[in-house]
Amino acid sequence: MKTDRQLAKYLANLGYGSRKEMEAAIQSGRVTGSGDNLRFDDEPLDPAPGMVLMMNKPAGFTCSRADQGRLVYELLPPRFLQRSPALSTVGRLDADTTGLLLFTDDGKLLHRLISPKSSTEKTYEATLARPLEGHEGDLFASGTLVLRGEDKPLLPAKLDVTGERSARLTITEGRYHQVRRMFAAAGNHVETLHRLRFGPLELGDLPEGEWRQLKPDEIAALAP
């Protein structure tokens, strides 16, 4: 059982306020229950450190706190930004890209997932400006495509054509604007881009702009 001082520190690390404010909250009875059933202002506590969240990112939001404009963190409870350890996105989606975006405050897990050695598959759905010509699948699968401004070939990627101007592309890397640049190298332009899958996780029917906490078995499958 945590002492009041330990509990105040724990609540402060979850972003509810300063330690002093949390000590006052405990004394005034705003914190109730015990163990795994603690409540703050009669609401269940936020997830403990080590959490992983999945969001269906809408267009117009950026992932870096250094960027201008609206940030994906605005779609989360404000106190999540005050958590310690800090909550970060697992990689980034550019402002115009929508779909599956992960967040975690687990630094080790974050680095495992974004490491070039992870080879985590990510599937995107792209709508293109011009009809596909038929050569794109072989080009992307070849392992010889070198993006403009780089000298290292991309790892093989899988293209599934879904329409005259639409396709799903599965990659295992996370280079800067990689999918958009791949289609540009093939002589086309991506008009819309939506991430459907990250490793074993699929976006499913999660509404745009909404988020949910991953279950322990989902986290275990994400980083076995």
Q: How far is CA 126 from the centre of its chain?
A: 18
The rounded distance, in Å, linking the Cα atoms of 154 and 150 is 10
Q: Which of 36, 94, 96, 138 is catalytic?
A: 94
- 160 catalytic residue (yes or no): no
Known catalytic residues?
94
